[in-house]
Amino acid sequence: MRPSPSLWSAVALALVSATGLAGSAQAAGPGTPTIKLSAAYLSGAVGSTGDPAVTVTVAQSGADASALAVTATRSSRSGVAGTADVHVTGTGTSRTVAVTAHAQGYADLTLKVTGLGGKTATTTLHYAASPAVQHSADARYLTGASDASAAVDVGGGYLLVANDEDNTLRLYDGSASGAPVRGWDLDEALGAGKEVDIEGAARAGNTIYWTGSLGNNKDGEYKADRNTVFTTTVTGSGAATQLAFGTAGHRLRDDLVAWDEANGGRYGFARATADGQVPKQIDGFNVEGLALAPGSATTAYVGFRAPLVPPQNGGKALIVPVTDIDQVARGGKAAFGTPIELDLGGLSVRDLRRNDQGQYLIVAGSWAAEDNSAPYALYSWDGVAGHQPAKVLDLPTADAGGWESVVSVPDLTAAGARVQLITDDGAADLYGDGTEAKDLSHPEWQKSRTTWFTLG
């Protein structure tokens, strides 16, 4: 039996349709490739080692990713970084893009992906380069914030860093330049409407004590959030570190003022905290250091940036022992030990850190706000009242940023002991355009510098 005409028509229509679809698919060929950056903004430094990099993800429908080529095709300022200074590594979907800087400034770098059929796509990497620094081989850059103010070692080369312009604690790989591994925004937990102005940290077991500066703001106004001592609890270590908020107290400043008044007002705390008084004066009131006393988990040394004692050139640095810091961090009244006055060559405490052997390092700097021009030095101390510290080394001051934090204290008796310090770069003009780092609109361009120094 021969098929009916209608059946022949159906078969013919199906063949035409199938042929047409196949032809259309064959004619379409590979699609337009795509290129996407993990971050559109990147910061580097002239002469640096291990600058941050970005990841670029590429794809093209109908093509294997290994067939795609990524190149830099244009720079808006080749004097800062040219196309030949863009280094692309990797062969798959994800490539790594690093840039070598030649001069301070900004450059927009055009990156192009070329796929099958000669099809292309582009994206722009906004690059910024800070100037070269001393000890550049031992320097790394912690991006995402510029006002590093306190740091705590959590093992494996990782560190928790506080920023005095916000209430976020950030976890970094301290051996590499780049963004934080993770962060904890404590605004809600602290009930804070403004920054606590975190300036000091001390670890006791899995508890970390953090203190605000306790002083007025730069305009001489009292801001309640700065009168804060709080705790966090650490679990894990290294890259796996996690934090949980603990408790907070908001009366240490008031208790210090009352204690000083009850003892004759030697340190002038009442006058220095009065309305209109700027904290960073030689007779001001500003806390920047916190460390546990020898052999104690509850007595804390509170180190003052101001005042000097007496408040004149050559005055001594002030440390006030708080003997119940655990209660203070819960809102309890502070109890105080005998104050300690240290000869730091006319400098004051910018950070204070103790190791498990009872050895201390003190970052000493000026009480003044001119961070980038005043001298800095590192002192060792045994933590005993009446024993004076010894200068270990003078810190370089020609570069932007003020030395602000000691990550941890090595065994100071070991030959070749090395210490990691961090700068606060918030007031620095990192890229030569007159903008302070803290005011940069992109967090990837904000950064602080960490540097290793050999002691001895």
Count of H-run helices and E-run strands, the chain: 5, 28
More confident residue, 199 or 3: 199
Q: Predicted confidence band at 10 (pLDDT cuts at 50, 70, 90)? A: very low
Asked if residue 6 belongs to a domain, the reply is no
Q: Is the dihedral of CA 133, 281, 210, 166 positive or negative?
A: negative
**Domain check: are 123 and 140 in the same one?**
no
Q: Is the dihedral of CA 392, 396, 397, 400 positive or negative?
A: negative
Asked if residue 28 belongs to a domain, the reply is no
Asked if residue 429 belongs to a domain, the reply is yes
Mean pLDDT, rounded, for 251-279: 98
pLDDT, tens digit, for every residue of 293-330?
Answer: 999 999 999 999 999 999 999 999 999 999 999 999 99
- What is the domain count for the chain? 2
Among 51, 149, 140, smallest CA distance to 371 is for: 149
**Residue-level pLDDT at 3:** 46
Is the pTM above the cut of 0.95? Answer: no
Mean pLDDT, rounded, for 332-350: 98
**Domain check: are 124 and 180 in the same one?**
no
**Residue-level pLDDT at 371:** 58
The pLDDT of residue 14 is above 80:
no
Q: Predicted confidence band at 7 (pLDDT cuts at 50, 70, 90)? A: very low
- Name the least confident of 17-21, 110-114, 375-379: 17-21
272, containing H or E segment:
helix 269-272
Query: d(Cα 254, Cα 346) in Å, to the nearest integer?
Result: 27
More confident residue, 23 or 386: 386
Give the ranges where 152-206 is alpha helix by DSSP (H): 187-190
Asked if residue 15 belongs to a domain, the reply is no
Domain that holds residue 341: 136-454
Out of 130, 150, 165, pick the residue that ends a domain. 130
Q: Predicted confidence band at 2 (pLDDT cuts at 50, 70, 90)? A: very low
The pLDDT of residue 456 is above 90:
no
More confident residue, 29 or 166: 166
Q: Predicted confidence band at 372 (pLDDT cuts at 50, 70, 90)? A: low
Among 393, 282, 303, smallest CA distance to 353 is for: 303
**Domain check: are 177 and 304 in the same one?**
yes
Query: d(Cα 360, Cα 294) in Å, to the nearest integer?
Result: 9
Return the CATH number at 347: 2.120.10
**Residue-level pLDDT at 370:** 65
**Residue-level pLDDT at 1:** 43
Mean pLDDT, rounded, for 32-44: 98
**Domain check: are 126 and 140 in the same one?**
no
Asked if residue 7 belongs to a domain, the reply is no
Say what percent of the chain tops pLDDT 90.
91
Out of 77, 104, 130, pick the residue that ends a domain. 130
**Domain check: are 228 and 376 in the same one?**
yes
